[in-house]
């Protein structure tokens, strides 16, 4: 007769198994979170985060760690960012000073407003793929400026480890492999790109295979040995200019020589007793994170979250819609366009808040008109890095080559993925870019102009002390990711891991639809539909990184987005 265990034992074993399962799920859910009493860095790739930690261990501060991370991402995550693209760097130094370094790409001197028209009609393929799609890259010069002004290590110290990874190669994960597969047809059009990102038989690299980038390693070492002057005034610029001339591009070596970073004044606003520090134009992120927070500040979101979370989601979605309508009309490079400071005016936000119907989605036909719109102006695929140290330095860097592998161009012998940031201009009135965004005259193509961006590096203070930094990748969804992480932390008291990991929603006015991540409950989707929202369900609404600090326990908590591989880590 077979043995039959007592019923109590079966129950006990079942309970143990259940508790072990729950515990393993909790561990899995929090695997994207790290804690440290000393320093912290978070990024979308473990090797990049490890480079940041190594910079801390070498005696560097948060600025050094963030730049080491960014340079390494240019090797292991170069479908998102790299020295062929641009960046925004937001810094709060230990002495409480704020800095915003604009390393956004610039349009070449020969650029003009009709350059992406074909037979009189806009052709977005020209602004997205090939030699006309790239602006002059600014990330490298901005990285160097940040380290020289605010770091403790030599810039070359931060470049060489990334060169070593490029030389020896790294193991491609499924995220990287899927990006190559998705773009292989376009990558194969350019010999320099094909040589680097496709195997000799033309097939894409697969997950688990090693990708070696000898040319990129050499470029990094030349920068380490000769400085960024080699890139902007030397052989790199000359080779890019020669390739562009031979292949129908307009970028020249002189465009590289004329590139400059710009020191901007950060956007500073308040939200429920916190100070929100964002990046100013040509980022639309700092302006519209502030504007949306100003609008929703007129509603008790915490109460709605408890009583009816779907009403809370509706309010936030309507505020997003109103802000993105303003973005389409008013935002551009402040050195060329008059961007009204009134967009972040509290009274203007209160006026917009009154347009929100708590029971139904509204039709926003056009932009609003902020106060003093004619007199007061701001001064003339992507990744995010967050870093903080115990001395009080906090850094938020958002860096990009725009869409996956940028313009799909790697100049032969250089190894650098060139951006397709020209697509972030309004190539023609009402013509959407790769992210579905439309723009107006303020963001039209002009020589030397920087295209409008959604990048939103953000630092949050409480009682004038930094308690959080957050930023994201995902085109216009960057703005709404940063917004939701901020609301979830401040209004709902969520941990940074939950604030980043919970399902998101996004509205950008045009197209008129509410994007909902698949992780949102079915009844949430049905409720929002019943309120008049046109729902579009998406697998993901972007990728976010953040760090918080608890003054009571003196502990940093870092989180990378669990939607993709990544790592948050602190110095032990």
The answer to whether 55 and 153 are in contact (CB under 8 A) is yes
Beta-carbon neighbour count of residue 107 at 10 Å?
Answer: 26
The phi and psi torsions of 76 (rounded to 5 degrees) equal -95, -10
Query: Which of helix, strand or coil describes residue 430?
Result: coil
Task: Mean pLDDT check: name the lowest of 12-16, 105-109, 527-531.
Answer: 12-16
Domain match, 113 and 251 both: yes
Domain termination residue (choose one: 443, 464, 484) = 443
The contacts of residue 532 (CB under 8 Å, 6+ apart) are 360, 361
The contacts of residue 194 (CB under 8 Å, 6+ apart) are 187, 188, 202
The answer to whether residue 22 is domain-embedded is no
The answer to whether 444 and 425 are in contact (CB under 8 A) is yes
Q: What does DSSP assign to residue 15?
A: H
Closest of 354, 334, 352 to residue 343, by C-alpha: 352
Domain match, 57 and 182 both: yes
Predicted pLDDT at 22: 32
Domain match, 234 and 169 both: yes
pLDDT digits (tens, 9 = 90+) for 236-258: 999 999 999 999 999 999 999 99
pLDDT digits (tens, 9 = 90+) for 38-63: 999 999 999 999 999 999 999 999 99
pLDDT digits (tens, 9 = 90+) for 389-425: 999 999 999 999 999 999 999 999 999 999 999 998 8
Q: What is the token pair recorded at 347?
A: 């009274």
Does pLDDT of 498 surpass 90?
yes
The answer to whether 508 and 436 are in contact (CB under 8 A) is yes
The answer to whether 273 and 462 are in contact (CB under 8 A) is yes
Domain match, 396 and 541 both: no
Question: Which H helix or E strand runs over 54?
Answer: helix 46-57
Q: What is the token pair recorded at 141?
A: 């010069």
pLDDT digits (tens, 9 = 90+) for 83-116: 999 999 999 999 999 999 999 999 999 999 889 8
Structural domain boundaries enclosing 94: 39-260+385-443
Domain match, 548 and 477 both: yes
The answer to whether residue 27 is domain-embedded is no
245, 322, 378, 457, 470 from 507: Cα distances, Å: 41, 9, 25, 19, 20
Predicted pLDDT at 364: 77
Predicted pLDDT at 1: 37
The answer to whether 390 and 37 are in contact (CB under 8 A) is yes
Domain match, 66 and 180 both: yes
Mean pLDDT of 332-345: 84
β-pairing verdict for 543-550 and 267-271 = unpaired
Question: Which H helix or E strand runs over 225?
Answer: helix 214-226
Domain match, 437 and 489 both: no
pLDDT digits (tens, 9 = 90+) for 298-314: 999 999 999 999 999 99
3-class SS shares of the chain: helix, strand, coil, % to 5 = 40, 20, 40
Q: Confirm whether 382 is a catalytic residue.
A: yes
The answer to whether 421 and 139 are in contact (CB under 8 A) is no
Domain match, 135 and 278 both: no
Q: Give how many domains the chain has, as a whole number.
A: 2
Domain match, 47 and 97 both: yes
Domain match, 79 and 220 both: yes
The answer to whether residue 11 is domain-embedded is no
Domain match, 291 and 415 both: no
Mean pLDDT of 538-565: 94
pLDDT digits (tens, 9 = 90+) for 423-438: 988 766 556 655 555 5
Q: What does DSSP assign to residue 449?
A: P
Q: How confident is the model at residue 31 (pLDDT cuts 50, 70, 90)?
A: confident
Mean pLDDT of 116-138: 92
The answer to whether residue 148 is domain-embedded is yes
The answer to whether residue 480 is domain-embedded is yes
Predicted pLDDT at 15: 34
Q: How confident is the model at residue 188 (pLDDT cuts 50, 70, 90)?
A: very high
Q: How confident is the model at residue 511 (pLDDT cuts 50, 70, 90)?
A: confident
Query: Which of helix, strand or coil describes residue 302?
Result: helix
pLDDT digits (tens, 9 = 90+) for 271-296: 999 999 999 988 888 999 999 999 99
Domain match, 421 and 517 both: no
User: Is the previous residue joined to 508 through a cis bond, with omega within 30 degrees of 0?
Assistant: no
CATH of the domain at 348: 3.60.20.40
Mean of per-residue pLDDT scores for the chain: 90
pLDDT digits (tens, 9 = 90+) for 343-390: 989 999 999 999 999 999 987 766 666 666 555 544 436 799 999 999
CA distance 532 to 424: 30
Q: What does DSSP assign to residue 344?
A: G
91, 169, 218, 228 from 221: Cα distances, Å: 27, 15, 5, 11
The phi and psi torsions of 197 (rounded to 5 degrees) equal -100, -10
Q: What does DSSP assign to residue 497?
A: H
CA distance 496 to 334: 33
Predicted pLDDT at 284: 86
The answer to whether residue 108 is domain-embedded is yes
Among residues 193, 269, 382, 548, the one annotated as catalytic is 382
């Amino acid at each position: 007769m077979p043995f039959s265990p007592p019923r109590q034992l079966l129950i006990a074993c079942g309970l143990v198994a259940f508790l072990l399962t729950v515990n393993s799920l909790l561990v899995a859910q929090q695997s994207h979170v790290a804690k440290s009493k000393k320093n912290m860095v978070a990024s979308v790739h473990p090797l990049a985060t490890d480079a940041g930690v190594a910079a801390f261990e070498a005696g560097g501060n948060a600025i050094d760690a963030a730049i080491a991370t960014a340079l390494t991402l240019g090797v292991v995550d170069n479908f998102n960012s790299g020295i062929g693209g641009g960046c925004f760097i937001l810094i709060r130094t230990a002495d409480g000073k704020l800095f915003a370094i604009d390393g956004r790409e610039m349009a070449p001197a020969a650029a003009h407003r009709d350059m992406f028209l074909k037979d009189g009609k806009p052709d977005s393929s020209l602004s997205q793929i090939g030699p006309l799609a790239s602006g002059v890259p600014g990330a490298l010069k901005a990285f160097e400026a940040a380290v020289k002004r605010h770091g403790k290590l030599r810039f070359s110290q931060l470049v060489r480890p990334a060169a070593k990874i490029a030389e020896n190669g790294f193991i491609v994960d499924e995220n990287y492999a899927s990006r190559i597969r998705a773009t292989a047809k376009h990558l194969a059009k350019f010999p320099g790109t094909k040589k680097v990102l496709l195997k000799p038989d033309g097939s894409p690299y697969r997950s688990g295979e090693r990708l070696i980038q000898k040319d990129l390693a050499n470029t990094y070492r030349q920068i380490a040995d000769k400085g960024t002057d080699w890139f902007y005034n030397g052989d790199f610029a000359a080779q890019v200019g020669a390739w562009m001339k031979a292949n129908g591009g307009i970028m020249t070596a002189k465009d590289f020589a004329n590139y400059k970073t710009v020191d901007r004044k950060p956007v500073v606003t308040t939200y429920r007793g916190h100070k929100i520090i964002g990046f100013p134009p040509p980022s639309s992120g700092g302006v519209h994170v502030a504007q949306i927070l100003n609008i929703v500040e007129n509603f008790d979101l915490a109460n709605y979250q408890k009583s009816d979370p779907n009403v809370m989601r509706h309010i936030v979605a309507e505020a997003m819609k109103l802000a993105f309508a303003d973005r389409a009309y008013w935002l551009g490079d402040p050195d060329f366009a008059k961007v009204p400071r009134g967009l972040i005016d509290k009274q203007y936000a209160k006026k917009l808040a009154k347009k929100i119907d708590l029971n139904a989605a509204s039709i926003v036909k056009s932009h609003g008109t902020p106060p003093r719109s004619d007199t007061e102006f701001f001064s003339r695929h992507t990744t995010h890095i967050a870093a903080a140290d115990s001395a009080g330095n906090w850094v938020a860097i958002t860096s990009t080559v725009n869409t996956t592998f940028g313009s799909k161009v790697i100049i032969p012998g250089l190894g650098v993925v060139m951006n397709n940031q020209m697509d972030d201009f309004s190539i023609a009135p009402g013509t959407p870019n790769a992210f579905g965004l439309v723009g107006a005259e303020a963001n039209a193509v002009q020589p030397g102009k920087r295209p409008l961006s959604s990048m939103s590096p953000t630092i949050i203070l409480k009682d004038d002390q930094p308690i959080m930094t957050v930023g994201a990748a995902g085109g216009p969804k960057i703005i709404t990711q940063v917004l939701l992480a901020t609301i979830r932390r401040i209004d709902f008291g969520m941990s940074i891991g939950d604030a980043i990991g919970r399902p998101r929603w996004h509205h950008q006015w045009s197209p008129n639809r509410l994007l909902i991540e698949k992780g949102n409950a079915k009844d949430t989707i049905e409720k929002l539909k019943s309120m008049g929202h046109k729902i579009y369900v998406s697998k993901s609404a972007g990728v976010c990184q953040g760090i918080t600090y608890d003054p009571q326990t003196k502990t940093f908590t870092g989180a990378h987005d669990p939607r993709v591989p990544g790592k948050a880590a602190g110095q032990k």
